[in-house]
Structure 1
Amino acid sequence: MARTGRRPGNQDTREVILAAATKAFAEHGFDGASIRQIATSAGVDPALVHHYFGSKDKLFLAAMNAPLDPGTILPKVFEPGLDGVGERLVRTFLTVWDSPAGNTAAALVRSALQHEWSARMLREFLVSQILRRATSALNLDPAEAPKRTALVASQMIGLALMRYILKLEPLASMTQDDVVRTIGPTIQQYLADPLPRPAAATVKADISDESVRRAAPRGQ
């Protein structure tokens, strides 16, 4: 009789784990999915998940088919601190996209534009693997970090779309140095400069000031 219970370790088991992980991350996000939950769905012991993938981060990168591990390259970008981080980030981004890994990255972005499932996975990748690292390494104000890092992400994804996917000229043909000099200061501004006041707060303040002027006795 065929044995029942948890699967033994083999290549098929690895693919089953990967399929279960992909589904869990897409449905519950990086934080909401657990190794134990994924192992149960795959019918294996959690130790087998660690055996094949090492950590939750590594499992997520495998599920994403990520072209590289941000944990190996981002420390060089963020650890020197805020000074010059905009140019370092843009240069690293361009180096990755100009390498063979850029083809895989382009495929991920194209898929995210066409399928909500892929968009959720890419969003989780950006938040858990890149933006969260930036917030921690750069000691960003927790109240401002989500807005700052989202602005950075919008700029970088826009750069990828225009330069590598739509190939909009002259951006597509600009040298790395030219792109770094042009876009780096914008990234630096998003991460280091004071953020504008919210429009609603500005309007409220203007109304309040006007009310004070109207209420003040004439001649003051």
Structure 2
Amino acid sequence: MRLVIARCSVDYVGRLQAHLPMADRLLMVKADGSVSIHADDRAYKPLNWMTPPCSLVEEALEDGAVLWVVENKKKEQLRIHIEEIHSELSYDLGEDPGLQKDGVEDHLQALLAEHIETLGDDYSLVRREYPTAIGPVDILCRDADGKTVAVEVKRRGGIDGVEQLSRYLELLNRDELLAPVQGVFAAQQIKPQARTLAEDRGIRCVTLDYDELRGAESQELRLF
């Protein structure tokens, strides 16, 4: 990563013509070769940019200025005329592991399996990711009477999730060792249409509180 704060003007030469007049800006050159020009506003969105693959050639001008010519395979160019560099920093960030979202379905599934009693008193876990011929059921468990329960876990429960659970139930109920198998559709939010379809098919709907499952206080305002 190379970060240059400089007084510069920028011209885009390609399918269209665009010009940024002389001003102080942040120039960002990433390891993948991309170049972007930023102002001190607009949040993350750059004023102009060139995506890889592209080349960057620096040329010293007679007046002491520097010209960056950034060109892609289509021969489009960013011509960055740097009048003065205020600050410059280069640093190797290494390989990024990517964004890990808190509260995704896998986390929600793991928490529900750990606190299976959320579904009812004396519920017991059989296993997570119980295999079937069309894919794994998120959670297989037993209720207080020892009956088998298949659970589909979603962050936002829609009709597709109910259909998916219905297909699992059809297969599981063919297994004499498991049948009769009941269904639970569990999600942080369940759409009204999905709830109606689930209840029509005898599937119980459970709304999950992620903060409560992980033992944290909910940030929502409550009366009681």
Between Structure 1 and Structure 2, the one with more helix by share is 1
Higher alpha-carbon Rg:
2
- The two structures have a TM-score, normalised by structure 1, of 0.23
Higher relative contact order (Cα pairs below 8 Å, separated by 6+ residues):
1
- The two structures have a TM-score, normalised by structure 2, of 0.23
Between Structure 1 and Structure 2, the one with more strand by share is 2
